[in-house]
């Protein structure tokens, strides 16, 4: 059984025959919590985690530590009925234009009716209010389309919305992008970024007999480069993993040809930690380290029992992420650099 461990301890050392109190290094073990689709953002001296609360509400957690979700705030609850009353999936919290927005997929209880909605508040811990449904169809103001996993890209003074959506009424997921005029309004038509089945490892269960599936886009920018991480191969499968698109240095985010899909996944399962995906990236408290937050499955059988992991990663000489393998449950890791331990 997986467990959560905190190992910051106090040990006694004898120096020249005199007892003195010395603090042992701060350590922790994964997973850090039960849950899925982790989104974490650092603001000021705190981390803010955004999570679905039993698929009927949105919770924001505030913590000074990256390895501990901290205090929970229920920031928005679903109405008892209607278009956005059930199936809250993968909320993300963003600070935009001096306001706070949460983008979350919601439905009336039927998956085919999932739409992206924007919630708005003055502060990251809310309370949030319903702002708008985002128009993620081919023609603005016309028939809307299934959409989940919305995120934000800002580049060269422009803002874009990126999400996973259906082309029509068929359950086949692609990555889409559209220009935004404000944090709750798409101002241009959607564009498909890439095919969802270029590689066998993108197919559900890594089987040619199954459909390709791309979802959970996440943006990270570093040294002038724009990276788009995405998850694929079915979140209910142990083959779930993370792939990577990179935007050309002078590329236009709205030009699919300017995005390069890497031929191999950048993060995938091991014998001990599997079904890994839906990652988000942040920095350690002192900014010296980059960390990946992601979920992994608790069971190898198909299903959605998952837990949240965090681990550090590095960058290659050619400025590509080097995540390494996912850590095994229970493995002790040093706390993120700059963590202040308080008992």
pLDDT exceeds cutoff 80 at 341: no
Under 8 Å between Cβ of 279 and 243: no
pLDDT exceeds cutoff 90 at 17: no
Mention the CATH class of domain 5-334: mainly beta
C-alpha 110/C-alpha 87 separation (Å) is 8
DSSP conformational letter for 208: T
pLDDT for 40-89, tens place per residue? 999 999 999 999 999 999 999 999 999 999 999 999 999 999 999 999 99
Under 8 Å between Cβ of 308 and 35: yes
Under 8 Å between Cβ of 292 and 308: no
Report domain extents, the chain.
5-334
Give CB contacts under 8 A, 24+ apart, made by 120-124: 120/183, 120/184, 121/75, 124/43, 124/48, 124/60, 124/62, 124/93, 124/95, 124/100
C-alpha 176/C-alpha 167 separation (Å) is 9
Confidence band for 342, pLDDT divided at 50, 70 and 90: low
Under 8 Å between Cβ of 318 and 250: no
pLDDT for 180-208, tens place per residue? 999 999 998 999 999 999 999 999 999 99
What is the pTM assigned to this prediction? Answer: 0.92
Question: SS3 of 256, please?
Answer: helix
C-alpha 268/C-alpha 240 separation (Å) is 7
pLDDT for 278-329, tens place per residue? 999 999 999 999 999 999 999 999 999 999 999 999 999 999 999 999 999 9
CA distances from 222 to 97, 173, 249, 267 (A): 22, 28, 11, 19
Confidence band for 14, pLDDT divided at 50, 70 and 90: very low
Q: For the chain, what percent of residues have pLDDT higher than 70?
A: 92
């Amino acid at each position: 059984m997986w467990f959560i461990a905190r190992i910051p301890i106090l040990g006694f050392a004898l120096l020249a025959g005199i007892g003195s109190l010395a603090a042992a290094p701060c350590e922790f073990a994964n997973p850090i919590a039960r849950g899925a689709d982790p989104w974490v953002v650092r603001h000021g001296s705190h981390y803010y985690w955004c999570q679905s609360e039993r698929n009927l509400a949105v919770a924001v957690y505030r913590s000074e530590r990256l390895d501990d979700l901290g205090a929970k705030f229920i920031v928005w609850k679903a109405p008892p009925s209607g278009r956005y009353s059930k199936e809250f999936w993968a909320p993300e919290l963003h600070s935009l234009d001096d306001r706070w927005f949460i983008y979350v997929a919601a439905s009336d209880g039927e998956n085919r009716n999932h739409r992206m909605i924007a919630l708005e508040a003055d502060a990251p811990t809310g309370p949030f209010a319903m702002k708008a449904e985002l128009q993620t169809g081919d023609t603005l103001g016309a028939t809307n389309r299934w959409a989940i996993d919305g995120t934000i890209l800002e580049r060269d003074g422009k803002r874009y919305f990126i999400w996973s959506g259906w082309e029509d009424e068929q359950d086949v997921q692609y990555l889409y992008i559209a220009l935004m005029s404000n944090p709750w309004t798409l101002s241009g038509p959607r564009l498909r970024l890439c095919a969802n089945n270029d590689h066998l490892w993108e197919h559900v269960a890594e089987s040619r007999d199954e459909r390709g599936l791309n979802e959970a886009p996440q943006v990270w920018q570093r040294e002038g480069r724009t990276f788009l991480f995405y998850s694929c191969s079915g979140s209910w499968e142990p083959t779930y993993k993370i792939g990577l698109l990179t935007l050309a240095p002078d590329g236009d985010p709205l030009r699919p040809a300017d995005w390069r899909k890497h031929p191999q996944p950048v993060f995938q399962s091991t014998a001990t930690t599997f079904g890994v995906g839906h990652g988000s990236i942040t920095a350690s408290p002192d900014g010296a380290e980059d960390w990946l937050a992601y979920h992994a499955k608790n069971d190898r059988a198909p299903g959605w029992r998952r837990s949240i992991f965090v681990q550090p990663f590095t960058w290659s000489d050619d400025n590509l992420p080097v995540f390494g393998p996912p850590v095994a449950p229970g493995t002790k890791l040093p706390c993120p650099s700059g963590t202040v331990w308080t008992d």
